[in-house]
Structure 1
Amino acid sequence: MKIYVKNMVCPRCIMAVETILKTLQIDYKNVSLGEIELNSQPDNSDVTKLSDQLQEIGFEVIDDKKHQLIERIKNYIIQFIHHDKEMLKINLSDFLSEVLGYEYNYLSNLFSEVEGTTIEKYVILQKIEKVKELIVYDELSLKEIAHQLGYSSVAYLSNQFKKVTGLTPSHFKTIGQQKRIPLDHL
């Protein structure tokens, strides 16, 4: 059995959910971004306790099938951009279609209908947040960041960055952390 969870965006989120599952003594197989895979069907009181504890730390159990699919799309995009550099080398639309088992056109239309924005715009927002993170870390040049995130040039990255944030990457670097947006708020 799978339980879908909204707002899980990082490995720390996974650890927090695992801690809750262990505390509640709910037998689980795996926890990944946005998903809890259980070994067996828990009783209703355990599900209620789990849902309540997840809400206390900013997560939400998703019951609706459409919203579950949207959350899976978001989590794959977050994984794609923030946690696995190798994934950026593959075509996102083909990847999403393959792992989710739906035509990309359907996924794209559903995402737009439910979220009020396109998958492409969501990807851009995620990429810009990753750029912000990398700029704040100050370990890579803008050219290296552009290459790492699959931008064709520094100029293209800079133009997209300015369009989204209203700032150039160099200006952002001077003001730093205060302009970052938590991933679950995108």
Structure 2
Amino acid sequence: MTTLFIKNMVCNRCIMVVQNELEKLGLTVKNIKLGEVTLDKELPENVKTNLVKALTVLGFELIDDKKSRIIEKIKNIIIDLVHHQDGEIKYNLSDVLNSKIHHDYNYLSNLFSEIEGTTIEKYFIAQKIEKVKELLVYDELSLSEIAFRLNYSSVAYLSNQFKKVTGLTPSYFKQIREDKRKPLDKV
């Protein structure tokens, strides 16, 4: 068996696209998840070259070095926590990363900062703010429901963090998004 680590796999659609490319090359996928693919056998060098080309065209990248794999795992865990585990961000991020990656959080934090030029916490906050934007645009939840779902201690804390990151209040962001949208009969 071979495990491949793939950069920029951030959603279920990415998983589907990567799996499709692997199958086009005649490869059998044993397991696939964000950033990681397990194949049933070794990958011949000529097939690997073709895979790298196909993935690059689609915006993905095969990761070969250990540090980059760890960074990608951190990102994928955070993306999964924020975007795919609705209402389950109830755990300490450092504990989640320690248990899933099996490295000391200080090592992970220093490595992430060194390679990405930002902290794990800032990346986590950026992902949460993107999720807040998405939920505001969907307009199905109140701000307090969004705050609860993303484990903010209060609506005020969410609003302050949102404004610090985007420069806008959540309500103003929602308003300008609505102003840009046209009803279908006006398109």
Flag whether TM exceeds 0.5 (same fold).
yes
Q: Distance in 2 between matches of 1:2 and 1:174?
A: 46
Question: What amino acid does structure 2 have at the position aligned with 1:152?
Answer: S
Q: Distance in 1 between matches of 2:87 and 2:41?
A: 34
Say which SS state the counterpart of residue 85 (structure 1) adopts: coil
Q: Which residue of 2 aligns with 1:172?
A: 173
Task: Tell me how far 1:165 sits from its aligned partner.
Answer: 0.2
1:33-67 deviations in whole A, cap 9, x for unaligned?
01111111010011111111111110011111101
Q: May I ask how many residue pairs the two structures share in their alignment?
A: 178
Q: Runs of 5+ in structure 2 lacking a partner?
A: 179-187
Q: Which residue of 2 aligns with 1:63?
A: 64
Q: Distance in 1 between matches of 2:72 and 2:177?
A: 29
Give the root-mean-square deviation of aligned CA atoms.
Answer: 1.3
Equivalent residue runs for 1:27-66 within 5 Å: 27-66=28-67
Larger Rg: 2
Q: How much identity, in percent, do the aligned residues show?
A: 60
Tell me if the contact between 1:26 and 1:46 (Cα under 8 Å) persists in the aligned partners: no
Q: Does 1:110 align with 2:111?
A: yes
Q: Which residue of 2 aligns with 1:91?
A: 92
Q: Which residue of 1 aligns with 2:12?
A: 11
Task: Tell me how far 1:86 sits from its aligned partner.
Answer: 5.2
Question: What amino acid does structure 1 have at the position aligned with 2:117?
Answer: G
Say which SS state the counterpart of residue 98 (structure 2) adopts: helix
Task: Tell me how far 1:90 sits from its aligned partner.
Answer: 1.7
Say which SS state the counterpart of residue 38 (structure 2) adopts: strand
- TM-score norm. by structure 1 comes to 0.93
Q: Distance in 2 between matches of 1:37 and 1:92?
A: 26
